[in-house]
Chain A
Amino acid sequence: MPPFLQRVNNAAKGKVLALQEYFTLAWNALRFVFARPFYGGDLVQQMDVIGVQSLGIVLLTGFFTGMVLALQSSVQLKTFGATIYIGRLVAGSMIRELGPVLAGLMVAGRVGSGIAAQLGSMKVTEQIDALNTLGTDPIKKLVTPRVLAALIMMPVLTVINDFVGILGGNVIANIYLGLPTSLYWRTVWEQIATGGFTFRYIPNDFIQGLSKPFVFGGIISITGCYFGLGTTGGTEGVGLATTRTVVTASILILVVDYFMTQILLTLFAQ
């Protein structure tokens, strides 16, 4: 085989192998959810780190996104005299799209990088080897609690993000457009109801808006753990793992969001 093809061949093999390792890690992490021993303390601690401690940035992101969304669309809606629909627009965008994606990207930056840095430094200081030596499976002890915590907390953070976003829209609608709060929230509800319901009571918009953060939580935590545990080359390697995690998780979130939207729109087509 010519050297050029050989290089391409090796590179392709490397990528496929990396992908296989990524999914093996994900599979093992989820498999251990049901295997003893359970690290309940670690799970609660990670839920605090991933969920509670991310609340600040999620609140800020959500509130300002909702406000800017209302502000920008008010300019457009004014030209059609349709400012009354601002609640529908903000709610629709936040719940289905912006809430999950923005919360995902913010958590990827904050939590994904944190996971990669922590596991990375544990790897380079031989703490991962020490766990193995002390008879503990590092995946069960470190990866499973993080993945599980992210799967649980991401939807919670997204709901909060959605709510403060819509609240931000409410503030702008009130101040700039003089829209009464009750009217604003009525249009928000109309938007949710327009999407239809599953099992009569569960709004389809909620299903769309909450299935995405669940997947994003998985992407962020597994990507962080994958690059963290794969760290080599001392402190420089830790920096590299952190950067790679944020870049990869952010891209994956945006790409997966597109395909999930396609699928969900087909599933919930009116």
Chain B
Amino acid sequence: MTGTGDRGGDGSPTPPPGGPRGAPKRRADDRRKSEQLRSVRAAIRQELASDAGTDLEERGQEGDSGEQLPVIELSNIDLAFDAPVLEDVSFAAHEGETIVVVGESGTGKSTILKLILRLLVPDDGRVCIDGDDIAHLSFEEALQVRQKMGMVFQGAALFDSMTVYENIAYPLREHTDLEEEEIEERVREKLTFVDLEPDKVMQKFPAELSGGMKKRVGIARGLANNPEIMLYDEPTSGLDPLTTGTITRLIMKLQRELGVTSVVVSHDIRSSFRMATRVALLADRHIKFFGTPEEMTGSDNEYIRDFLGGY
């Protein structure tokens, strides 16, 4: 099985979101970009490959011995509603990493994001953001911590009573003293970042947008406060293959250009492997595997091989 690096540059020319206009130039741009991406990914992989074999505890020790603390750290999380959902779940994300949590539907993948956001509190174990345990924060303190994070929901979860502009401006109006001109500037900047033309979409309501555009506006809203952590819940579900490629590239662009730490929940193996620095496989309430995509594809574990389905 080939590694992800090769696959990322499989040459599948994903057209730009705007359609086939200016195709040759854009194709050339795309090729250049994908080459850049490949090199960045290769660099990250190389760095991570040197860690191959080190398990989580060793990573924790590294953290203690003076290395950078993980931005997000889940340790020994137990959570149950009517029945146990997560048991002894641990993983950590360091600065600039993109962790993709994969697993079958209904295994509690999205629950992990809710734990990081502290929309849920674990029954046992610790969720640390920048080294601080967030489990015991008050409701108001939790609202503060959430401002370090941007979340992109499965269905984008845009406020449908507000325009695109108001949606993206919402976190700025809520938590900053920015003037209206500065807010507009920021909204334009974020919309441009997600490859949308501000003047065309700003005054539209979410109901007037396509699925892919909604996702991009969702990402722009998540980015509005310049968060250090981005969380994505099934960012590519329900999208056509081309839009899936666009969103995947966007997430990678975020990691590359802004250096944000990301946790992505997905069951789309192909796009997961393209963007992941490490993959966590959640099955039967436990983390069955945590490592690089290359390690995962090279695994002999029967469940992992079944899960990847010949990928």
CB distance B174 to A132 under 8 Å? no
For B144, what are the chain A residues with a Cβ–Cβ distance below 8 Å?
A: 135
Q: State the Cβ distance, B167 to closest chain A Cβ, in Å.
A: 9
Give the CA-CA distance A30 to B135 in the complex, in Å.
Answer: 27
Against A, the Cβ 8 Å flags (1 = close, 0 = not) of B104-135 are 00000000001001010000000000000000
CB distance A125 to B157 under 8 Å? yes
Q: In this assembly, does B284 line the interface, its C-beta being within 8 Å of a C-beta of chain A?
A: no
Q: In this assembly, does B289 line the interface, its C-beta being within 8 Å of a C-beta of chain A?
A: no
Against B, the Cβ 8 Å flags (1 = close, 0 = not) of A112-134 are 00000000001001110110111
CB distance B155 to A135 under 8 Å? no
5 A-B pairs with the lowest CB-CB distances in the bound complex, closest first: A126-B157, A130-B157, A133-B151, A135-B143, A126-B153
Q: In this assembly, does B149 line the interface, its C-beta being within 8 Å of a C-beta of chain A?
A: yes
CB distance B117 to A134 under 8 Å? no
Give the CA-CA distance A129 to B143 in the complex, in Å.
Answer: 12
Smallest Cβ-Cβ distance to A127: which chain B residue: B157
Given A135-B143, A135-B146: A125 touches B119 (CB 8 Å cut-off): no
List chain A positions with a Cβ less than 8 A from chain B. 37, 122, 125-127, 129-130, 132-137
CB distance B139 to A137 under 8 Å? yes
Give the CA-CA distance A262 to B149 in the complex, in Å.
Answer: 54
CB distance B153 to A134 under 8 Å? no
For B175, what are the chain A residues with a Cβ–Cβ distance below 8 Å?
A: 135
Against A, the Cβ 8 Å flags (1 = close, 0 = not) of B137-149 are 0010001101101
Interface residues of B in 213-265 (CB under 8 A from A): 221
Q: State the Cβ distance, A64 to closest chain B Cβ, in Å.
A: 34
CB distance A136 to B157 under 8 Å? no
Count class of interface residues, chain B: 20 to 34
Smallest Cβ-Cβ distance to B218: which chain A residue: A130
For B147, what are the chain A residues with a Cβ–Cβ distance below 8 Å?
A: 135
Interface residues of B in 143-166 (CB under 8 A from A): 143-144, 146-147, 149, 151, 153-155, 157-160
Smallest Cβ-Cβ distance to A135: which chain B residue: B143
Q: State the Cβ distance, B150 to closest chain A Cβ, in Å.
A: 8
Q: State the Cβ distance, A233 to closest chain B Cβ, in Å.
A: 15
CB distance A129 to B153 under 8 Å? yes
Smallest Cβ-Cβ distance to B145: which chain A residue: A135
| Interchain residue pairs with CB less than 8 A apart (27) | A37-B174, A125-B155, A125-B157, A125-B160, A126-B157, A127-B157, A127-B158, A127-B160, A129-B119, A129-B153, A129-B157, A130-B151, A130-B153, A130-B158, A130-B159, A132-B119, A132-B146, A133-B117, A133-B119, A133-B151, A134-B146, A134-B171, A134-B174, A135-B144, A135-B171, A136-B174, A137-B139
Give the CA-CA distance A158 to B56 in the complex, in Å.
Answer: 65
Against A, the Cβ 8 Å flags (1 = close, 0 = not) of B163-187 are 0000000110011000000000000
Q: State the Cβ distance, A37 to closest chain B Cβ, in Å.
A: 8
Give the CA-CA distance A150 to B226 in the complex, in Å.
Answer: 38
Given A135-B174, A136-B174: A127 touches B159 (CB 8 Å cut-off): yes
Give the CA-CA distance A136 to B149 in the complex, in Å.
Answer: 13
Give the CA-CA distance A37 to B143 in the complex, in Å.
Answer: 13
For B153, what are the chain A residues with a Cβ–Cβ distance below 8 Å?
A: 126, 129-130
For A132, what are the chain B residues with a Cβ–Cβ distance below 8 Å?
A: 117, 119, 143, 146
CB distance B117 to A126 under 8 Å? no
Q: State the Cβ distance, B21 to closest chain A Cβ, in Å.
A: 33
Q: State the Cβ distance, B60 to closest chain A Cβ, in Å.
A: 27
Q: State the Cβ distance, B194 to closest chain A Cβ, in Å.
A: 17
Q: State the Cβ distance, B196 to closest chain A Cβ, in Å.
A: 19
CB distance A126 to B119 under 8 Å? no
Smallest Cβ-Cβ distance to B151: which chain A residue: A133
Q: State the Cβ distance, B165 to closest chain A Cβ, in Å.
A: 15
For B119, what are the chain A residues with a Cβ–Cβ distance below 8 Å?
A: 129, 132-133
Give the CA-CA distance A129 to B149 in the complex, in Å.
Answer: 13
Give the CA-CA distance A125 to B159 in the complex, in Å.
Answer: 9
For A129, what are the chain B residues with a Cβ–Cβ distance below 8 Å?
A: 114, 119, 151, 153, 157
